[in-house]
Each structure stands twice: as structure tokens, then as C-alpha cells.
């Protein structure tokens, strides 16, 4: 598959790069330190149509391909990862609605999410169910006229600010993961309790909360897709979400490289720029090479998704490699900055805190390795890695 971008994709990439510099960069460090949600920045990106970029134009979306989306994600993450993860979580939930919602559900919920300035959240994770996503305990019981939900969710990005949530709950406790269904829950539904933003290591400006569902009553039409198919839906949606996280990781890694190159040019030691020293040059060379490789994996996975082909393995590969690339790049960036890198005087310490989440969120690196290995072992015929 070619790595060339279309004129429309290049134009979008350049536009978002300029927007990120003008709208997201000012105050990004202060928002992180204060844990201040980037409300104005999110509103601006909504206004530009980026929160509905991959949604169908018939519902107010941009109707763009997934490759265009990952180009946007990388450009935003290079400047402001907290705003970027807000977009990722929103797109995950909106994509779930678009993929499995009925025409009536899509007509009601997608337009406000695409162009109306409304936020979405995707609620699968629970206090005792992270990597073991099929082990969730939140229950959804049919009560004659609809559904009644009870349980707890945790680490839900956009959770306290979302106008629409996609919530996974157990509808048949005897079937394990095969007894999970998905539900559309309006953010103002009685019984839906929202916690405070968690005091996190990184992404401090993003909204990440616990949710308490206590006797949350929903109409019958709140069921999203088929009953007991929610886990299968979630795994399909997560595969696309992993490509988004991988693109975010590439953006963070790129920020590490750009800051390191700039610092190596102006910082002097022993009478010359530290960029003249071979040991530091090797670190920069490794960073640049791994970032390019990670970006190619991300683009390959996105192109496969756009082509309607299987992409779960490639998405896991992209997420695994890009996340670990971001972490290695961040560690090198702090090392290159020396003592200054260990302070908040330079943004590389923030990049290090943000890079770590890329190895955890949307499936840990260990889970990605399991996905890749199982795809290889269960594939029919030879393992074709030539795409």
C-alpha cells in the first residue's frame, strides 16, 4: 500500500498543524499543571468539524476516511495530548453509535456529536475489569418497559462532561463476555453519578472519572445493536480506537524529538553545541527512525480499515510499537535535556508522563502482544506480513 497522501489529506494536515499551534499550544502547560479541562480548545475543534470528522455527512459529520483522522490526531497530540485524548474518547463512542446504531438512534444522537458541540464518552472499564474487559459486573436488567442499569465504571474519559455515553453492561450473567450488551445513556439520566477528575500522572487536563449507575432506567430503544453482542461490538470498536491511540503516541514522540533537536542546537557544553557529540546524535537518530517506523504502522492500519479489510492485528502492532516508541523517545528527551528535563521548565517532563499512558490505555502493551500472537496462531495458511 502506498504511503502517499492525497491533496485533501495534506491540506487537512497542514490546517490542523496551524490550528494546533495557534489554538492549543498557548497555555497547554498551565492547563496540565492546574488540571483544567480545555473547554475552549475543544469548542474550537468542534467548530472546525474535527469531532465529527469520520462520521457520515448525512449526520453532520465530515465523511472523511480514517487515515485523515489519524493525521489530525498526530498533529494535535504533538502540541496538546490532553485535548487529543478528549477527541479520541469522543470518536470511540460516536463510532460505536455509527457502526451499530439503528437509523433512529443515529438520527437522534450523531448530529449533536458531529457538529453540535456535544461530547461523547465510552464506558467499558470498571474498577475490577481493565484488561479483562469481559469481566465487567455492571448489570442491565429488563424491567418490562425498558432497562435498569446498576454498577460502577472507572477511568472513563469525558465521563463527567459527556452528553451521550455508550455503556457496556451484563444482560446475561451466565454467558460471561457473550452476555454483555451496549446501551446509549444520555448524560443527564437520573441515577447516573459522576465522580471528580482523577488526580493523574499525566493527561491532567483531560476529564477522567468514575461513574456510578444506580437504578438508571432506560427505554427499550436504548439498547445499542443486538442484545448480548456488546462485547463483540466493543472489541471491533477498540481495534479502531487503538489506531487512534497509536497516532497520538506518534505525535507525543514527535514532540519529544523536535524539542530535543532544538535543545541540542542551542545548548552548549565544553565550548560547543551538545548536538555535536556522537552519543547524543545517536539518541536523536534512534528517535527519528522509530518515529517514522511507528507512523508507517499507523498509516498501514488506517488504510486497511478504510479498505474494509481485517486490521485487528495491524492495529495492535501499531499501538504496541508506537506506544513504546513514545516512551523511549520521552526518556531520551529528558536525558538530552539533563537536569532541566527533570523540571517543568521544559515540556519534555510532561511528554514523559503522557507517553506512559499510551502503553496502558486502550489495551496494555501486554494485551497487544496477546492480540498479535493469537492472530498469528489462529490464521489460516501462512502468516502474511507483506501488506
Active site residue ranges: 362
First and final CA of the chain: distance in angstroms? 7
3-class DSSP state of 25: coil
Cell of 76: 494535535
3-class DSSP state of 217: strand
Contact 100, 85 (CB under 8 A): no
Provide the β-strand partners of residue 219.
Answer: 146
Cell of 169: 453492561
C-alpha torsion 161→165→170→172, nearest 10:
160
Largest CA distance in the chain: 80
Dihedral (CA of 8, 56, 208, 296) sign: negative
Contact 152, 193 (CB under 8 A): no
Strands 208-219 and 180-186: unpaired
Provide the β-strand partners of residue 166.
Answer: 122, 184
Pairwise CA distance, residues 48 & 67, whole Å: 18
Amino acid at each position: 500500500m502506498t504511503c502517499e497522501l492525497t491533496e485533501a489529506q495534506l491540506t487537512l494536515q497542514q490546517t490542523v498543524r496551524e490550528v494546533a499551534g495557534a489554538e492549543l499550544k498557548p497555555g497547554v502547560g498551565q492547563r496540565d499543571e492546574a488540571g483544567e479541562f480545555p473547554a475552549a480548545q475543544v469548542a474550537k475543534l468542534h467548530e472546525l468539524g474535527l469531532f465529527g470528522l469520520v462520521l457520515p455527512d448525512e449526520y453532520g459529520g465530515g465523511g472523511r476516511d480514517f487515515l485523515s483522522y489519524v493525521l489530525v490526531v498526530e498533529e494535535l497530540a504533538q502540541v496538546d495530548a490532553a485535548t487529543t485524548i478528549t477527541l479520541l474518547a469522543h470518536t470511540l463512542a460516536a463510532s460505536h453509535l455509527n457502526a451499530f446504531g439503528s437509523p433512529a438512534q443515529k438520527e437522534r444522537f450523531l448530529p449533536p456529536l458531529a457538529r453540535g458541540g456535544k461530547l461523547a464518552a465510552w464506558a467499558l472499564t470498571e474498577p475490577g475489569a481493565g484488561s479483562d474487559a469481559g469481566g465487567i459486573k455492571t448489570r442491565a436488567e429488563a424491567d418490562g418497559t425498558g432497562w435498569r442499569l446498576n454498577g460502577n465504571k472507572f477511568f472513563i474519559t469525558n465521563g463527567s462532561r459527556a452528553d451521550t455515553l455508550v455503556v457496556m453492561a451484563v444482560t446475561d450473567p451466565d454467558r460471561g463476555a457473550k452476555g454483555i450488551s451496549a446501551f446509549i445513556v444520555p448524560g443527564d439520566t437520573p441515577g447516573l453519578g459522576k465522580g471528580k477528575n482523577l488526580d493523574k500522572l499525566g493527561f491532567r487536563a483531560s476529564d477522567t472519572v468514575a461513574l456510578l449507575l444506580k437504578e438508571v432506567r432506560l427505554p427499550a430503544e436504548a439498547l445499542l445493536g443486538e442484545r448480548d453482542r456488546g462485547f463483540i461490538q466493543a472489541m471491533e470498536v477498540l481495534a479502531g480506537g487503538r489506531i487512534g491511540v497509536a497516532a497520538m503516541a506518534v505525535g507525543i514522540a514527535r514532540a519529544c524529538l523536535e524539542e530535543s533537536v532544538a535543545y541540542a542546537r542551542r545548548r552548549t557544553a565544553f565550548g560547543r553545541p551538545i548536538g555535536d557529540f556522537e552519543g547524543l546524535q545517536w539518541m536523536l537518530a534512534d528517535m527519528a527512525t522509530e518515529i517514522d517506523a511507528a507512523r508507517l504502522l499507523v498509516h498501514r492500519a488506517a488504510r486497511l480499515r478504510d479498505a474494509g479489510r481485517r486490521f485487528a492485528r495491524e492495529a495492535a502492532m501499531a499501538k504496541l510499537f508506537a506506544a513504546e516508541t513514545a516512551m523511549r523517545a520521552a526518556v531520551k528527551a529528558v536525558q538530552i535535556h539533563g537536569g532541566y528535563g527533570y523540571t517543568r521548565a521544559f515540556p519534555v517532563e510532561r511528554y514523559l508522563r503522557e507517553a506512559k499512558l499510551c502503553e496502558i490505555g486502550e489495551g496494555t502493551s501486554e494485551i497487544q502482544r496477546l492480540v498479535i500472537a493469537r492472530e498469528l496462531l489462529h490464521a489460516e495458511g501462512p502468516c502474511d506480513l507483506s501488506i
